[in-house]
Amino acid sequence: MSTARNRPLVIYDQDCGFCVKWINKFKDITLSTIDFKGYKEVMDEFPDISLKDFQRSLKYVDESGKVTQAGEAACKLLKQTSSPLKFISFLYDTIPGAKYVIEAGYKVVANNRHFFSKVFS
């Protein structure tokens, strides 16, 4: 666990074009309420997270220092945006079974970043 922060931190794979593209979109719709950093900038702060895990999925670090990842991290990020996709975080938190579907969807996209990068370019 990391130390407490003034605001949430999103950690992403800065070597992934798909990831960088979406992070830039999220930066625009979070109104500077979240810090965004590539894993290479902060990996020393999180010695319990392996390089492979940093490269595998998005991380969301809340103000208390708690780290979540993958679909849960994406939902926590969405919750703090003005995006119409914000409802996905509500589904994740309230509908039984939704988190499993969202995590599975996240995994499909994460494992096929290059394909989805071309589709959504």
Phi, psi of 26 (to 5 degrees): -65, -35
Instruction: Encode pLDDT of 37-83 as tens digits.
Output: 999 999 999 999 999 999 999 999 999 999 999 999 999 999 988 88
pTM for the model: 0.88
DSSP character string of 35-81: EEEEHHHHGGG-TTS-HHHHHHS-EEE-TT--EEEHHHHHHHHHHTS
- The region of weakest confidence among 10-14, 72-76, 113-117 is 113-117
Domain residue limits, the chain: 9-119
